[in-house]
Chains A and B, each alone.
With several copies, the nearest count.
Chain A
Amino acid sequence: MAYAVKLDVYEGPLDLLLQLVSKERVDVADISISTVTDEYLKATSALGEVDLETASSFLVLAATLLELKSLKLLPQKSAPDPDLKMLLEERDWLLHRLVAYSSFKAAATRLSEEFDRGAGYHSREAELPEELIPEAPDIFRNISVGQIAAAAARALGPRQAPTVNTSHLTPLTVSLDQMVREMSRRLSRASRSSFRDLCADLQKPEVVVSFLALLELYRAESVELEQSQPFDTITVTWRQPPPRGSQ
């Protein structure tokens, strides 16, 4: 059973995960990775340009989620193997982070209430009376060109929140399912390819989806993934079509 998450604002993968696991009787096995991905993409594609850092932090979480999900689907072993043990440690670590993050989130809500409460008090922020200016220390002693430029940009830049113009962007129409099919099609033809070549013609958000698609295919044992060291080329080798009905 798949759970949909409604994201008003994408605040990062930890926030997303917190929202997911805080719901009643939801566990990782029930969370559809494609739903999460689609929600993430919906939330971020409205922004026009996807920030690479946001995207990569999402990927790390999606991969962890995927791993935990596969763990959940495995039969319980009496003696955990080392891999399983590591995964469980990872889970505890993730839980620890979630608890900490959740505390700060609650503290932020309190801060906001306190700010509202204090909003009625206004202090003076006036310039010094003219006759006192000669007495005052040099207020420009730390001034820098960057400060001037930033202040000018703030004052002369767009007044309201900029309307993000997405008209020049190809609307993101590809879902994870579609991307799994597309990747299968490309790989069944090429048989072996680097990840970079596989998505050379894709836009950044689609690359994110294609990476998740490959993880799904890997889980279904349809592909082999090789990477000799971090940041090195990822080589994808085609093995067999995914079984029908796989995500």
Chain B
Amino acid sequence: MKAEDDVLRALEAVLFIADEPLPTADLALLFELPAGEVEALLGILADRCQAHGRGVVLRRVAGGWRLATHPDTAPYLERFVGEHRAGRLTQAALETLAIVAYRQPISRIQLAEIRGVSCDAVMRTLLSRGMVKEVGRDQGPGQAILYGTTTYFLERLGLDSVDQLPPLAEFMPDAESVERMESGLGPGL
């Protein structure tokens, strides 16, 4: 059996980095431990967060476990976000918005397939900022929600319609593959 402290440390690191709630089953798979044992470790981690007066708490939410800021810290966070946090667009948000713009209407599953990671957190940002919206339902089984860009998105970009987005061909191959070609790296390198 792995040293408990090592697993606890890694467990916290994984939860720290993750952008989405992590199901117990995923964590069990990652650490190659029975689900029951993982739940017990998560319990220990949650207790420690409390006992040590930490600024983050471990919460069980729909879909799994996630680290979140302690509710008491909210006033400071609001002030910090309003004044200090550089209002920067994350790479993930820009990329997701770009895919929706060019491939709309598109479902979250299709988005995740293209990006290779779940886009739920990013989509929440884009939805709450009014850049994308629900535009319909997939006809197939499951009837997934389909998303598209908003009028506000077009306004921000100074476009009349999405047809005015430049053809992608102009922007391909991307910078890195051009660089690979210029520097002579073959495929797989």
Binding site for B on A (CB under 8 A): 9-15, 18, 20-24, 26-29, 43-44, 46-49, 51, 53-54, 57, 61, 68-69, 71-72, 76, 80, 88, 91, 94-95, 97-112, 114-115, 117-158, 160-164
Q: How far is the CA of A49 from the CA of B174 in the complex (A)?
A: 16
Q: Which residues from B are CB-within-8-Å of A146?
A: 166
Q: Give the dominant DSSP class at B's interface.
A: helix
Q: Which residues from B are CB-within-8-Å of A153?
A: 168, 171-172, 174
Nearest-neighbor residue (CB-CB) of A98 within chain B: B181
A133 touches B128 (CB 8 A): yes
The smallest beta-carbon distance between A158 and chain B, in angstroms, is 7
Interface centre among A15, A46, A120, A152, by most B CB within 10 Å?
Answer: A152
Q: How far is the CA of A9 from the CA of B88 in the complex (A)?
A: 16
B158 touches A118 (CB 8 A): yes
Binding site for A on B (CB under 8 A): 13, 16-19, 57, 59, 66-72, 74, 77-78, 81-82, 85-95, 97-99, 101-103, 114-118, 121-122, 124-125, 128-129, 131, 155-159, 165-166, 168, 170-178, 180-189
B93 touches A94 (CB 8 A): no
A121 touches B59 (CB 8 A): yes
- A/B interface sample: 23 pairs, CB < 8 A: A11-B91, A18-B181, A27-B183, A27-B185, A43-B184, A47-B182, A54-B117, A68-B185, A99-B181, A100-B114, A104-B102, A106-B171, A107-B166, A110-B166, A115-B89, A125-B91, A127-B93, A127-B121, A140-B131, A149-B98, A150-B174, A152-B168, A164-B186
Q: Which residues from A are CB-within-8-Å of B189?
A: 80, 88, 161
Q: Which residues from A are CB-within-8-Å of B176?
A: 161
A162 in contact with B177 given A15-B116, A155-B99 (CB within 8 Å):
yes
